[in-house]
Structure formats: structure tokens, C-alpha cells
Amino acid sequence: MVATPVKTEAKRRFYPTRIDMAANVRSQIAEILNQTLAATLDLKTQTKQAHWNVKGMDFLQLHELFDELAGELEGYVDMVAERVTALGGTAMGTARVAAAESILPEYPFNAIDGVEHVTALAERFAAYGKHVREAIDATDNLGDADTADLYTEISRTIDMRLWFLEAHLVKKSDLD
């Protein structure tokens, strides 16, 4: 069965709100947020993929770290989706939409040991962080300081978590 594209009318459907932003601005912001929603859902499930499948000497430490990361991402899923609906839009948050709309590459299912999983997640967290920083600027330029602030909150944590992942990849020879 072939997945059908997300229906455009569902993406564009807006509900009345007393928020003092023009409908066309809210629509643009909701589109950016829905792109983030897809990427966040995708990153969360890719992080769970690593959590379930990591093997090796650092198993327990990484298993717990990956679960913690996925939990944080779940909170961002909710924040982003609720901002879409607060603006009068429709949150597009199904697994099918996330798969079709995510900016992230597919997870490498052949990853086994901790280094492979950490590397894959670091690459995806970096791409996601870049997307979030671009969204800060885009929503700020549209005059929505609240959404830009939401993105700033996400960005700080994603950068910190990327640091945690990258710290696992540093070798002594990298420091010499």
C-alpha cells in the first residue's frame, strides 16, 4: 500500500482565534511548526530505535541516556503541536505525516554498538538543531516572539544533548 500525501486542505484549515496575528501570518507559522512536529516525532522514534537496539560495553549508560532523550523530545512534540492549535491551525502529528514530512534521514538499522548509535543520533540532533535555529529566525521575522521563544527553549536543550552525544565520540587522539 502506498502512503498518500498529506491533504493540503487539512494543512490549511484554520479555526477562529482572538490572537492578534493576521491569518496569513498564523498560517505560515503553523506550517513551520508542523515541519518541526514531523521532525520531532521522527527524532523521538529514531532515538527510541537506538534505545531498544544498542549493544556493547556502554549498553546500560546509553540505553538510559537514549530513553531520557526520547522523553524530552516527547515533551517538545506536545509543545509544538499545542502551539499550532493555539494559533488556530491543525497539528499534523501522525506517524505517516512525520515519515513523509521529516527533514531527517532514515535511521541506520544496521547500527549495533554504542558508537554507531551515538554517531547516528549526533548527526540527527545536529540537523534538528539547525532546523530549530532557522525556525527561531523565521518565526521572529514573522513577528511571533512567543513561537520564537518556544524554539529557543528547544534549541538550548538540543544543543546540550548534542554535546552529551558528541562527548561519547571524543577520543584521546582527538585532543592531542
164 found inside a domain: yes
Q: State the residue for C-alpha cell 530549530.
A: 132
Average pLDDT for the chain? 92
11 found inside a domain: no
In the numeric block, which cell numbers belong to residue 80? 509544538
81 found inside a domain: yes
176 found inside a domain: no
- Residue 95, pLDDT score: 95
Q: Could you give the C-alpha distances from 156 to 5, 57, 65, 125, 163, in angstroms and in order?
A: 33, 30, 17, 12, 11
| Residue 163 DSSP symbol | H
Q: By C-alpha distance, which of 93, 80, 101 is closest to 158?
A: 80
CB-neighbour burial class of residue 145 (10 A; exposed 0-12, middle 13-18, buried 19+): exposed
Quote the domain boundaries for residue 152.
22-169
Give the residue ranges of DSSP H helices in 87-113. 95-101
Q: How many domains does the chain have?
A: 1
Q: Which amino acid type is present at position 176? A: D
- Tell me the per-residue pLDDT of 114-132, one tens digit each, with 9 for 90 and over: 999 999 999 999 999 999 9
The domain that holds 143 is classified in CATH as: 1.20.1260.10
- Tell me the per-residue pLDDT of 67-99, one tens digit each, with 9 for 90 and over: 999 999 999 999 999 999 999 999 999 999 999
User: H-helix or E-strand containing 147?
Assistant: helix 145-169
- Tell me the per-residue pLDDT of 130-147, one tens digit each, with 9 for 90 and over: 999 999 999 999 999 999
| Residue 76 DSSP symbol | H
Higher pLDDT pick, 173 / 60: 60
In the numeric block, which cell numbers belong to residue 151? 524554539
137 found inside a domain: yes
49 found inside a domain: yes
12 found inside a domain: no
- Residue 11, pLDDT score: 57
174 found inside a domain: no
